[in-house]
Structure formats: structure tokens, C-alpha cells
Amino acid sequence: MGSYKCCICFTRKFRWKEAQPPEDVKAAFTACAEGAGQVGPEQLRRFLVEWQKETDATAADAERIVEQVRQLRQKHVLGRVARPLLNLEDFHHFLFSDELNPPVISQIHQDMKAPLSHYYVYTGHNSYLTGNQLSSDCSDVPIIKALQRGVRVIELDIWPNSSKDNIDVLHGRTLTSPVELIKCLKSIKEYAFAASEYPVIITLEDHLTPDLQAKVAELVTQTFGDMLYYPDCETLEEFPSPESLKRRVILSTKPPKEYLESKSYKNGSLNAKDSNEEEAWGKEIPDFKTEIDESVKSDADLNENDGEDADDSGEDDEDQKLPQNAAPEYKRLITIRAGKPKGHLKDSLKVDPDKVRRLSLSEQELVKAAVSHGAELVRFTQKNLLRIYPKGTRFNSSNYNPFIGWMHGAQMVAFNMQGYGRSLWLMHGFYRANGGCGYVKKPDFLMSTGPHGEVFDPKVKLPVKKTLKVKVYMGDGWRIDFKQTHFDAYSPPDFYTKVGIAGVPADSIMKKTRTIEDDWTPVWSEEFMFPLTVPEIALLRVEVHEYDMSEKDDFGGQTCLPVSELRPGIRAVPLFDRKGNKYNSVKLLMQFEFI
């Protein structure tokens, strides 16, 4: 692991030096200290306003930061004299603290009083699965983890149990072992608002008889009580707002179906090509054109989809919503009525002025619809909800490029949260916006219609709206979070950083720094410019790798950050592991500027 080194490295293999402030940090400190060699609260306030563009920073804010830095530093520097002043090392420590100096806005700041259709919603797919789609256990544990992360849409596939007298949650027609519905409901109740007070939507894939639907209604009402919201009328002209649904749980489902003959997954075997399609940290995210090409090649997948997705790929007309013998107590609890395309897609995307609904498309159907009915998709999502789900051949719980859905207004881009890879990192990053509450307001351009009915078209290349300038100063923390031999048995690691943009095709790009050899605290101090045509939905992508001459480069951390929420100035950027868990210590020092 790591680039090849000669054996003299044995004499210096684990050496590291304390992170030193970059030149820009030294310059900022010198300017603020005004020759005094120390920065007090008033000088720090000026730095926050002038350098960090925190125009509302107060003297109290600066005093609080100085006190927090002093307390933190005292833990590491014994015998330190207590004084309300910061020296250069203290100043650098403040800037390199993601708690005191985070890279994005941490508060909920968007208008939350618009209808649900005006928001992207953090959405899970098959939320009960612990692993792959074919044979993993079903459990409430991944549901709890998703809710703790801020996911707001939990999907449950509900089936009769073996004795037909109760309800199980499992991925139908597979080898997944079931978990009882009541266990999932109780865990949702306990953890629903652990990360956000905004509503949790439970999407039910219903495979039940009317008597078991009635039992679901009973379990849901008993479990959630007053937390459960459902409308007084059968149809809604407009969805309620996230603000009006705070700390409420709502149900969404499509028509209950007759039992279908069991279909097998090609003898239950996992396709080797699909299982290996993502590498250790995930293949690079395909662009729109690649998605179109792949969709054309794999038309057969739409016809040989798995049971759940085949049911979910097309929805009946609204007046065929529930069979006459469906349990009425179940029917009235459904707030978001789901339908699926029947006949021509263009007809399914027509907006009904008198009622709103949810439509579901597979990732492949979305790609095709984006090519032929892009404008209709955008118009539909201005009032109605559009849910996108992974294609049925993603047996290994991988994911897809979420931006195709987002840039057409799709609110519920459903992901396998127990999966892995770069697509999931984008999902994590996208919902760091708006204080991580799980609801992100769609940009105005997706909600507006021109005088002749024209709407946003992501295929049209737009002029550059703003340019993001990013400077990657340095990194630190690997020496604390990793074993000394993790990257290389004989010498310190050779780190480089990849930095770029994920967004509309015109904005998407990746660049990289040079490799710094033999250093646990690499200093790059390299600058990158990213012209952005649609900055509103763009994400800043950051990955650190350790160069390996003879093998695949090692993974050193990643993050994705919403460009619209980046805080200008010099910021500490914490990194996350492959699964999206934050490292204790690993972070980068970066600077952001919009020009």
C-alpha cells in the first residue's frame, strides 16, 4: 500500500509533524492582530465580518469563540495562562475546528410553509433491508439509522405473514427474512424526530387483503395516536406544508393489489456484473448521456423487473384508487395517494387542477421521460409529487445519479440508504442543506412557468451565474483516526485531493491536487475555479486518496457540500468514511469564495 519506498524508510516510517498554519492563515492573523501578536474578541469580530463574510457577527459571538478556543487549547497545552486573547496557534486551531468554523450553514433557514411539492424530501428505498435486495435480513435497525441521519421517507413492503393473520415487512419474492410491521412502526415512532421535527412519510408497498389492511389501520392509529395526520376529505387540492406537519407522521400508498404469482430473480442468483459494478468506494457517477445510453441498452430490465418495482413502475388511474372491498378505515388514513402511469406517460403527467397525487417512475423510466417529456415532468412536479426508485437489477443495493431526478423537480429520489458509493455520498451531501432537516426547498426556477408555458430545461446550456473559487490548503487527522501502517507499512502516506462539482451536466467536473509524499499533514495550497450555470442545486465534491504506484489508490475520506450553503472564507471541512460516517479527526482546511 502506498508508493514504493526504499528500506531506509524504516528509520523514519511513522514520523509526523504538528500541522502548521498555511500562509493565508498567517497573513489573516497578522492583519487582524495589527502588530500586537495576539487577537482579542474585537479583532476576531472584524475578521469574521471582513474575511469570513459573517456580516451579522457580534462582539458576543467573538467572545464566545475566544473562550471556547481557550478552553479547548487548555486541554492540550498544560499550564496555559488563561487570557481572553488568541495567538497564531489558537487562531489556526479555531479555523481548523469544524465545530467552531463549519463549512456550511447549520440552521434551518428556508421557508417551510409552502406545500410539500415545493421541497426535495430525503427519501429511502426498501428502508427495512440490512444489505442486498435478495437475501439480507429485514430489520428495524436500518430504519432507525436512516431516521437518525435525517431521512424523512421510510418505505415498508407489507405482506401477510405465513399464517395470514398478521403483517410482515419483507422484500417480496426474495429470500429476505421478515420483520413484524409493528416492530418497524414502534421504532419509527421512537426515532421519527431524532434528527428533524419535520414530518415523516411512510410509503407502504401494500400486498394485503382487506382484512389485513384493516389491521394495518388499527396498528398505525394505535402506535402513532395524535402523531398520525390524515385529511378530512378523500382528495387534496394541494399538499399541506412541512411546517403544518411538524412532528406528524403521514402515510402514502398506491392501490392494494390482488396477489401476484411469485416471480423468481433468475433462480435467485445475484448477477455477477451488477454485484461488481461499484468498486470499493463506488464507480464514478454516470452523466446524463451515459444514463440514456445505458437505459436504451437495458430495456429488458423494465420488462423483467423485480416484483416490488414492477408493481411500482406504473400506477392506475386515480378513480381506480382502491377496490370497493378495501378496508375503509385504511383508505381514509392515506394522505398522499399514489398512482402509476397507465397508457401513455404524457397522459399520466397531466396536472389535475382539483387534486394532487404521487407518481412513481423507475430510474430508467425517468431517463427516458427526461428525454421525451422533460417539460411535462417539471410541470407535474410543481404541484404533484414524483418518486424515483432504483431499477430492479440493483440487487446489491447500489444507487444511481440523483441529479436527473432533482433537475426535473422530482421530490422523492429514493435511495438504498444501506448501500454505498459516490451516488449515496451525493445524497448525504444534498441533505446537509437547510440545517439537515430532510426538506430542501426547490429553487424558484423549477417552480416558475413562463408566459407561454415554458419551464426549466436542464438540457439547455445556460450562461454562467457565478463562479466558485476553492482553495485546498491542507489536511490533518489521519494520524489519529488510522493505524500508522494503514496506508503504507514503511513510510507516511502520499495524499492527494480530488475536488469538483456535481450538478447539471454543464457544471459537473472533477479536478485534483498534486500528491504530497510522505506526510501525515499534507499541505497543498492549490486553487480551483468552478464556473456554475445552476449553482442552486450544485454540490461541491471532495475526496482524499493516498497514491499507490502498484495498486489501487487507498481511500482517505470524502464529503459533499451544497454549494448554495457554503460559508465564504477559510473553513474546516470534516471528512466522512465510505459509508458516510464522520471521522473523529480527519478534516481539510479550505477557502471558499464566490466571484
**3-state per-residue secondary structure call for 304-346:** CCCHHHHHHCCCCCHHHCCCCCCCHHHHCCEEEEEECCCCCHH
In whole angstroms, how large is the CA radius of gyration of the chain?
A: 26
Q: Is 171 a catalytic residue?
A: yes
Per-residue pLDDT of the chain (595 residues; tens, 9 = 90+): 444 444 444 444 555 667 789 999 999 999 999 888 899 999 999 999 999 999 999 999 999 999 999 888 776 555 555 567 999 999 999 999 999 999 999 999 999 999 999 999 999 999 999 999 999 999 999 999 999 999 999 999 999 999 999 999 999 989 999 999 999 999 999 999 999 999 999 999 999 999 999 999 999 999 999 999 999 988 899 999 999 999 999 999 975 554 333 333 333 333 434 444 444 456 788 776 676 666 555 554 444 333 334 344 333 333 345 555 668 899 999 999 997 777 789 999 999 999 999 999 999 999 999 999 999 999 999 999 999 999 999 999 999 999 999 999 999 999 999 988 999 999 999 999 999 999 999 999 999 999 988 999 988 989 999 999 999 999 999 999 999 999 998 899 999 999 999 999 999 999 999 999 999 999 999 999 999 999 999 999 999 999 988 788 999 999 999 999 999 999 999 999 999 999 999 999 999 999 9
**Cβ 456 vs Cβ 445: under 8 Å:** yes
User: Which residue's entry shows cell 415512532?
Assistant: 189
Catalytic residue among 92, 93, 118, 171, which?
171
593: which strand partners? 469
Residue 262 is placed in which grid cell?
A: 411469485
Residue 497 is placed in which grid cell?
A: 485531493
13: which strand partners? none
Spell out the alpha helix ranges (H) of 337-373. 345-348, 363-372
Measured CA to CA, the distance from residue 172 to residue 174 in angstroms comes to: 5
Measured CA to CA, the distance from residue 281 to residue 201 in angstroms comes to: 30
Output the furthest CA–CA distance in the chain (Å, rounded). 82
pTM for the model: 0.89
The pLDDT value given to residue 309: 41
Domain 23-95 fold is: Recoverin; domain 1 (1.10.238)
CB contact set of 74 (below 8 Å; sequence gap of 6+): 80, 82
Measured CA to CA, the distance from residue 271 to residue 488 in angstroms comes to: 34
The pLDDT value given to residue 288: 66
Measured CA to CA, the distance from residue 491 to residue 494 in angstroms comes to: 9
The pLDDT value given to residue 75: 63
Q: What are phi and psi of 548, to 5 degrees?
A: -130, 120
Secondary structure letter of residue 442 according to DSSP: P
* H or E element at residue 475: strand 466-476
Question: What residues does CATH 1.10.238.10 cover in the chain?
Answer: 23-95
**Cβ 74 vs Cβ 118: under 8 Å:** no
Q: Which of helix, strand or coil describes residue 243?
A: coil
User: Which residue's entry shows cell 473523529?
Assistant: 584
Task: Kindly list the distances between the CA atom of residue 149 and the CA atoms of 19, 124, 156, 562, 582, in Å, as whole numbers in the listed order.
Answer: 31, 11, 18, 16, 12
Question: What residues does CATH 2.60.40.150 cover in the chain?
Answer: 7-15+462-594
Say what the alpha-carbon torsion angle 191, 148, 278, 508 is, to the nearest 10 degrees: 130
Measured CA to CA, the distance from residue 48 to residue 346 in angstroms comes to: 52
**Cβ 214 vs Cβ 327: under 8 Å:** yes
Nearest residue to 286 via CA among 395, 362, 400: 400
Q: What are phi and psi of 114, to 5 degrees?
A: -85, 165
Residue 154 is placed in which grid cell?
A: 421510510
Q: What are phi and psi of 180, to 5 degrees?
A: -70, 140
Catalytic residue among 93, 125, 373, 408, which?
125
User: Which residue's entry shows cell 487582524?
Assistant: 32
User: Which residue's entry shows cell 387483503?
Assistant: 209
Nearest residue to 330 via CA among 478, 204, 415: 204
The pLDDT value given to residue 274: 41
User: Which residue's entry shows cell 473553513?
Assistant: 571
The pLDDT value given to residue 279: 45
**CATH code of the region 7-15+462-594:** 2.60.40.150
Domain 116-259+283-431 fold is: TIM Barrel (3.20.20)
